[in-house]
Amino acid sequence: MSTMSTRSAWRALHYSAKRRAFQPATPFRCFSCTRAAQDQSKQDQERMTHFGFTNVPESSKDRRSLQLRRLLLRHNERPDVPGNPPHLEGPLRPIPKPRIPLSARINNPTQKGWNILDIAGGTGDIAFRMLDHATNVNHDIETRVTISDINADMLAEGRKRSIDTPYYNTPRLSFVEANAQSMPHIPSNSVDLYTVVFGIRNFTDKQAALNEAFRVLKPGGVFACMEFSKVDNPVFDAVYKRWNFSAIPLIGQLVAGDRDSYQYLVESIEQFPRQEEFKGMIQKAGFMIPGRGYENLTGGIAAIHKGIKPIKA
Protein backbone atom coordinates (compact mmCIF):
# COMPACT_ATOMS: atom_id res chain seq x y z
CA MET A 1 0.00 0.00 0.00
CA SER A 2 1.14 3.55 -0.64
CA THR A 3 0.63 4.48 3.02
CA MET A 4 2.84 1.60 4.12
CA SER A 5 5.52 2.58 1.63
CA THR A 6 5.44 6.14 2.95
CA ARG A 7 5.78 4.86 6.50
CA SER A 8 8.71 2.68 5.45
CA ALA A 9 10.41 5.59 3.73
CA TRP A 10 10.16 7.79 6.81
CA ARG A 11 11.43 4.96 9.01
CA ALA A 12 14.38 4.40 6.69
CA LEU A 13 15.24 8.09 6.73
CA HIS A 14 14.94 8.16 10.51
CA TYR A 15 17.32 5.26 11.12
CA SER A 16 19.78 6.21 8.40
CA ALA A 17 20.16 9.59 10.09
CA LYS A 18 21.36 7.94 13.29
CA ARG A 19 25.09 7.69 13.77
CA ARG A 20 26.97 5.87 16.43
CA ALA A 21 28.84 8.37 18.58
CA PHE A 22 32.64 8.06 18.41
CA GLN A 23 34.19 7.21 21.78
CA PRO A 24 37.84 8.35 21.97
CA ALA A 25 40.28 5.91 23.56
CA THR A 26 42.12 8.68 25.37
CA PRO A 27 40.76 9.85 28.72
CA PHE A 28 40.36 13.52 27.74
CA ARG A 29 36.99 15.15 26.98
CA CYS A 30 36.43 16.29 23.39
CA PHE A 31 34.15 19.34 23.59
CA SER A 32 33.58 19.55 19.83
CA CYS A 33 32.65 15.85 19.70
CA THR A 34 30.29 16.27 22.64
CA ARG A 35 28.58 19.24 20.99
CA ALA A 36 28.21 17.37 17.71
CA ALA A 37 26.74 14.36 19.50
CA GLN A 38 24.26 16.59 21.34
CA ASP A 39 23.15 18.26 18.10
CA GLN A 40 22.69 14.86 16.46
CA SER A 41 20.71 13.64 19.48
CA LYS A 42 18.38 16.65 19.19
CA GLN A 43 17.75 15.84 15.53
CA ASP A 44 17.05 12.19 16.34
CA GLN A 45 14.65 13.18 19.10
CA GLU A 46 12.64 15.67 17.03
CA ARG A 47 9.03 15.58 18.10
CA MET A 48 6.86 13.43 15.91
CA THR A 49 3.18 13.73 15.07
CA HIS A 50 0.75 11.81 12.92
CA PHE A 51 -0.10 12.61 9.31
CA GLY A 52 -3.00 10.25 8.86
CA PHE A 53 -1.65 6.88 10.03
CA THR A 54 1.95 7.88 9.29
CA ASN A 55 4.29 9.37 11.89
CA VAL A 56 6.17 12.42 10.59
CA PRO A 57 8.29 15.19 12.15
CA GLU A 58 6.13 18.04 13.44
CA SER A 59 8.09 20.47 11.27
CA SER A 60 6.86 18.75 8.11
CA LYS A 61 3.16 18.35 8.89
CA ASP A 62 2.15 21.94 8.12
CA ARG A 63 3.95 21.73 4.76
CA ARG A 64 2.20 18.47 3.90
CA SER A 65 -1.17 19.89 4.91
CA LEU A 66 -0.57 22.89 2.65
CA GLN A 67 0.18 20.61 -0.28
CA LEU A 68 -3.00 18.64 0.39
CA ARG A 69 -5.19 21.72 0.56
CA ARG A 70 -3.72 23.03 -2.71
CA LEU A 71 -4.70 19.72 -4.29
CA LEU A 72 -8.25 20.05 -2.97
CA LEU A 73 -8.47 23.60 -4.28
CA ARG A 74 -7.43 22.46 -7.77
CA HIS A 75 -9.96 19.63 -7.54
CA ASN A 76 -12.72 22.14 -6.79
CA GLU A 77 -11.85 24.21 -9.86
CA ARG A 78 -12.13 21.29 -12.29
CA PRO A 79 -15.34 21.40 -14.36
CA ASP A 80 -15.31 17.64 -15.02
CA VAL A 81 -15.45 16.51 -11.39
CA PRO A 82 -18.48 14.26 -10.79
CA GLY A 83 -20.81 14.57 -7.81
CA ASN A 84 -18.78 14.90 -4.61
CA PRO A 85 -19.17 12.44 -1.75
CA PRO A 86 -21.64 13.87 0.78
CA HIS A 87 -19.33 13.97 3.79
CA LEU A 88 -16.08 15.44 2.45
CA GLU A 89 -15.02 18.87 3.61
CA GLY A 90 -14.77 22.05 1.59
CA PRO A 91 -13.71 22.85 -0.94
CA LEU A 92 -14.90 19.40 -1.99
CA ARG A 93 -18.50 20.09 -0.99
CA PRO A 94 -20.78 22.98 -0.06
CA ILE A 95 -20.29 23.57 3.67
CA PRO A 96 -23.53 23.62 5.67
CA LYS A 97 -24.54 26.80 7.42
CA PRO A 98 -22.85 26.75 10.83
CA ARG A 99 -25.20 26.58 13.80
CA ILE A 100 -23.46 29.33 15.78
CA PRO A 101 -25.74 30.85 18.47
CA LEU A 102 -25.21 34.56 17.90
CA SER A 103 -27.35 35.32 20.96
CA ALA A 104 -24.65 33.72 23.12
CA ARG A 105 -22.47 36.83 22.95
CA ILE A 106 -22.34 39.03 26.03
CA ASN A 107 -24.27 42.21 25.22
CA ASN A 108 -21.85 45.15 25.27
CA PRO A 109 -23.61 48.46 24.49
CA THR A 110 -20.28 50.28 24.08
CA GLN A 111 -19.26 48.23 21.05
CA LYS A 112 -21.14 47.87 17.80
CA GLY A 113 -21.13 44.55 16.01
CA TRP A 114 -19.03 41.48 16.58
CA ASN A 115 -15.37 40.86 15.94
CA ILE A 116 -15.28 37.31 14.48
CA LEU A 117 -12.16 35.29 13.73
CA ASP A 118 -12.68 32.44 11.24
CA ILE A 119 -9.74 30.05 11.35
CA ALA A 120 -8.74 27.82 8.40
CA GLY A 121 -11.49 29.56 6.45
CA GLY A 122 -9.44 30.75 3.49
CA THR A 123 -12.05 30.19 0.78
CA GLY A 124 -14.61 32.32 2.66
CA ASP A 125 -17.54 29.87 2.73
CA ILE A 126 -18.20 30.25 6.45
CA ALA A 127 -17.30 33.93 6.75
CA PHE A 128 -19.66 35.01 3.97
CA ARG A 129 -22.54 33.08 5.56
CA MET A 130 -21.92 34.59 8.98
CA LEU A 131 -21.86 38.09 7.51
CA ASP A 132 -25.05 37.36 5.56
CA HIS A 133 -26.72 36.14 8.78
CA ALA A 134 -25.63 39.22 10.72
CA THR A 135 -26.82 41.55 7.96
CA ASN A 136 -30.06 39.92 6.84
CA VAL A 137 -31.31 38.30 10.05
CA ASN A 138 -29.88 40.47 12.83
CA HIS A 139 -29.89 43.70 10.75
CA ASP A 140 -26.32 44.23 11.92
CA ILE A 141 -24.04 46.05 9.50
CA GLU A 142 -21.18 46.46 11.98
CA THR A 143 -20.11 42.84 12.52
CA ARG A 144 -16.80 42.06 10.88
CA VAL A 145 -14.95 38.82 10.10
CA THR A 146 -11.24 38.18 9.80
CA ILE A 147 -10.45 35.09 7.73
CA SER A 148 -7.20 33.48 8.87
CA ASP A 149 -5.51 30.63 7.02
CA ILE A 150 -2.01 29.21 6.80
CA ASN A 151 -2.48 28.59 3.07
CA ALA A 152 -1.93 31.59 0.79
CA ASP A 153 -3.63 29.82 -2.15
CA MET A 154 -6.82 29.37 -0.14
CA LEU A 155 -6.78 33.02 0.91
CA ALA A 156 -6.33 34.08 -2.72
CA GLU A 157 -9.38 32.00 -3.64
CA GLY A 158 -11.34 33.63 -0.80
CA ARG A 159 -10.41 37.11 -1.95
CA LYS A 160 -11.50 36.21 -5.47
CA ARG A 161 -14.86 34.91 -4.25
CA SER A 162 -15.40 37.96 -2.04
CA ILE A 163 -15.61 40.18 -5.14
CA ASP A 164 -19.12 38.84 -5.70
CA THR A 165 -20.24 39.70 -2.15
CA PRO A 166 -21.36 43.02 -0.62
CA TYR A 167 -18.39 42.83 1.76
CA TYR A 168 -15.63 43.14 -0.81
CA ASN A 169 -13.17 45.94 -0.03
CA THR A 170 -15.03 46.96 3.14
CA PRO A 171 -13.90 47.01 6.80
CA ARG A 172 -16.27 44.11 7.48
CA LEU A 173 -14.05 41.52 5.79
CA SER A 174 -10.30 41.01 6.02
CA PHE A 175 -7.82 38.23 5.27
CA VAL A 176 -4.64 37.25 7.10
CA GLU A 177 -2.10 34.48 6.49
CA ALA A 178 -1.24 32.93 9.84
CA ASN A 179 -0.68 29.72 11.78
CA ALA A 180 -3.53 29.21 14.28
CA GLN A 181 -1.11 27.78 16.83
CA SER A 182 0.57 31.18 17.26
CA MET A 183 -1.10 34.47 16.32
CA PRO A 184 0.88 37.28 18.00
CA HIS A 185 -0.61 39.79 15.57
CA ILE A 186 -4.05 39.33 17.18
CA PRO A 187 -4.37 41.07 20.56
CA SER A 188 -5.47 39.17 23.62
CA ASN A 189 -9.14 39.54 24.64
CA SER A 190 -10.11 41.06 21.28
CA VAL A 191 -12.37 38.48 19.58
CA ASP A 192 -16.08 37.85 20.25
CA LEU A 193 -16.45 34.63 18.27
CA TYR A 194 -13.76 32.16 17.14
CA THR A 195 -14.84 29.63 14.51
CA VAL A 196 -12.98 26.75 12.88
CA VAL A 197 -14.84 24.44 10.51
CA PHE A 198 -13.25 21.20 9.27
CA GLY A 199 -9.79 22.63 9.91
CA ILE A 200 -8.48 21.82 13.38
CA ARG A 201 -8.13 18.16 12.44
CA ASN A 202 -5.11 19.10 10.32
CA PHE A 203 -3.33 21.18 12.96
CA THR A 204 0.02 19.87 14.15
CA ASP A 205 -0.58 20.89 17.79
CA LYS A 206 -4.31 21.06 18.45
CA GLN A 207 -3.89 21.93 22.12
CA ALA A 208 -1.68 24.90 21.25
CA ALA A 209 -4.37 26.14 18.85
CA LEU A 210 -7.05 25.80 21.55
CA ASN A 211 -4.84 27.70 24.01
CA GLU A 212 -4.37 30.47 21.44
CA ALA A 213 -8.13 30.60 20.82
CA PHE A 214 -8.63 31.11 24.56
CA ARG A 215 -6.08 33.93 24.59
CA VAL A 216 -7.56 35.97 21.75
CA LEU A 217 -11.20 35.61 22.85
CA LYS A 218 -12.75 38.23 25.11
CA PRO A 219 -14.15 37.14 28.48
CA GLY A 220 -17.56 35.74 27.57
CA GLY A 221 -16.38 35.05 24.01
CA VAL A 222 -17.41 31.86 22.23
CA PHE A 223 -15.25 29.13 20.70
CA ALA A 224 -17.16 27.13 18.05
CA CYS A 225 -15.68 24.21 16.13
CA MET A 226 -17.24 21.84 13.59
CA GLU A 227 -15.15 18.78 12.82
CA PHE A 228 -15.45 15.17 11.71
CA SER A 229 -15.86 12.91 14.71
CA LYS A 230 -16.80 9.39 15.76
CA VAL A 231 -20.04 7.62 14.83
CA ASP A 232 -21.96 6.45 17.90
CA ASN A 233 -23.78 3.49 16.30
CA PRO A 234 -21.55 0.39 15.82
CA VAL A 235 -23.40 -0.86 12.74
CA PHE A 236 -23.47 2.53 11.07
CA ASP A 237 -19.82 3.05 12.07
CA ALA A 238 -18.77 -0.16 10.31
CA VAL A 239 -20.58 0.85 7.10
CA TYR A 240 -19.20 4.40 7.28
CA LYS A 241 -15.60 3.27 7.73
CA ARG A 242 -15.91 0.77 4.90
CA TRP A 243 -17.13 3.56 2.62
CA ASN A 244 -14.38 5.92 3.78
CA PHE A 245 -11.44 3.56 3.36
CA SER A 246 -12.55 1.87 0.16
CA ALA A 247 -14.47 4.45 -1.87
CA ILE A 248 -12.86 7.80 -1.04
CA PRO A 249 -9.24 6.93 -1.98
CA LEU A 250 -10.52 5.28 -5.16
CA ILE A 251 -12.46 8.43 -6.07
CA GLY A 252 -9.31 10.47 -5.45
CA GLN A 253 -7.31 8.20 -7.71
CA LEU A 254 -9.86 8.29 -10.52
CA VAL A 255 -10.74 11.98 -10.35
CA ALA A 256 -7.55 13.70 -9.20
CA GLY A 257 -4.93 11.03 -9.90
CA ASP A 258 -3.80 11.19 -6.27
CA ARG A 259 -4.86 8.31 -4.06
CA ASP A 260 -2.45 9.15 -1.23
CA SER A 261 -3.93 12.56 -0.45
CA TYR A 262 -7.44 11.18 -0.27
CA GLN A 263 -6.19 8.29 1.83
CA TYR A 264 -4.86 10.91 4.23
CA LEU A 265 -8.31 12.52 4.43
CA VAL A 266 -9.96 9.38 5.78
CA GLU A 267 -6.99 8.53 8.01
CA SER A 268 -7.02 12.00 9.55
CA ILE A 269 -10.72 11.59 10.36
CA GLU A 270 -9.97 8.28 12.09
CA GLN A 271 -7.09 9.85 14.06
CA PHE A 272 -9.08 12.82 15.38
CA PRO A 273 -10.01 12.56 19.08
CA ARG A 274 -13.41 11.24 20.11
CA GLN A 275 -16.04 13.78 21.18
CA GLU A 276 -15.42 13.44 24.92
CA GLU A 277 -11.65 13.56 24.50
CA PHE A 278 -11.78 16.71 22.39
CA LYS A 279 -14.18 18.29 24.90
CA GLY A 280 -11.54 17.61 27.55
CA MET A 281 -8.92 19.39 25.43
CA ILE A 282 -11.20 22.43 25.15
CA GLN A 283 -11.64 22.42 28.93
CA LYS A 284 -7.89 22.08 29.41
CA ALA A 285 -7.41 25.32 27.45
CA GLY A 286 -9.54 27.09 30.08
CA PHE A 287 -13.01 27.15 28.50
CA MET A 288 -16.27 26.57 30.32
CA ILE A 289 -18.36 23.92 28.58
CA PRO A 290 -22.08 24.69 28.12
CA GLY A 291 -24.26 21.66 28.72
CA ARG A 292 -22.95 18.52 27.07
CA GLY A 293 -20.38 20.58 25.17
CA TYR A 294 -21.01 19.21 21.71
CA GLU A 295 -23.77 18.30 19.28
CA ASN A 296 -23.46 15.25 17.05
CA LEU A 297 -24.48 15.61 13.41
CA THR A 298 -25.61 12.59 11.34
CA GLY A 299 -24.96 10.15 14.13
CA GLY A 300 -21.53 11.55 14.95
CA ILE A 301 -20.02 11.78 11.46
CA ALA A 302 -19.37 15.37 12.49
CA ALA A 303 -19.82 17.28 15.72
CA ILE A 304 -20.12 20.91 16.77
CA HIS A 305 -18.08 21.74 19.88
CA LYS A 306 -18.55 24.89 21.95
CA GLY A 307 -16.66 26.59 24.73
CA ILE A 308 -17.05 29.91 26.54
CA LYS A 309 -14.21 31.95 27.99
CA PRO A 310 -15.09 32.69 31.62
CA ILE A 311 -15.80 36.26 32.72
CA LYS A 312 -13.18 37.21 35.27
CA ALA A 313 -14.06 39.47 38.18
Minimal CA–CA distance to 119: which of 164, 175, 70, 76? 175
Q: Does residue 271 contact residue 50 with C-beta atoms inside 8 Å?
A: yes
Q: Does residue 267 contact residue 273 with C-beta atoms inside 8 Å?
A: no
3-state secondary structure 2-64: HHHHHHHHHHHHHHHCCCCCCCCCCCCCCHHHHHHHHHHHHHHCCCEEEECCEEEEHHHHHHH
Strands 302-308 and 217-228: antiparallel
Tell me which DSSP letter residue 150 carries: S
Strands 294-297 and 191-197: unpaired
Q: How far apart are CA 159 and CA 184, in angstroms?
A: 23
CA distances (Å), origin 290, targets 220, 222, 231, 282: 12, 10, 22, 11
Q: How far apart are CA 189 and CA 218, in angstroms?
A: 4
Annotated domain spans of the chain: 62-313
Q: How far apart are CA 181 and CA 204, in angstroms?
A: 8
Report CA Rg, the chain. Answer: 22
Sequence ranges of the binding site for S-adenosyl-L-methionine: 123, 149, 179-180
Q: Which CATH architecture has domain 62-313?
A: 3-Layer(aba) Sandwich (3.40)
The beta strand positions in the chain, using DSSP E, are 48-51, 54-57, 115-119, 144-149, 173-177, 191-197, 217-228, 294-297, 302-308
Residue 58's pLDDT is: 54
Residue type, 59: S
* DSSP conformation letters of 81-103: --PPPTTPPTTSSPPPPP---GG
Sequence ranges of the binding site: 123, 149, 179-180
Q: List per-residue pLDDT tens for the chain, 313 residues long.
A: 444 444 444 344 333 333 333 344 444 444 444 444 454 544 445 665 544 445 556 555 455 555 555 555 554 444 333 333 333 343 333 333 334 333 333 344 456 899 999 999 999 999 999 999 999 999 999 999 999 999 999 999 999 999 999 999 999 999 999 999 999 999 999 999 999 999 999 999 999 999 999 999 999 999 999 999 999 999 999 999 999 999 999 998 998 888 888 899 899 999 999 999 999 999 999 999 999 999 999 999 999 999 999 998 3
Residue 45's pLDDT is: 55
3-state secondary structure of 165: coil
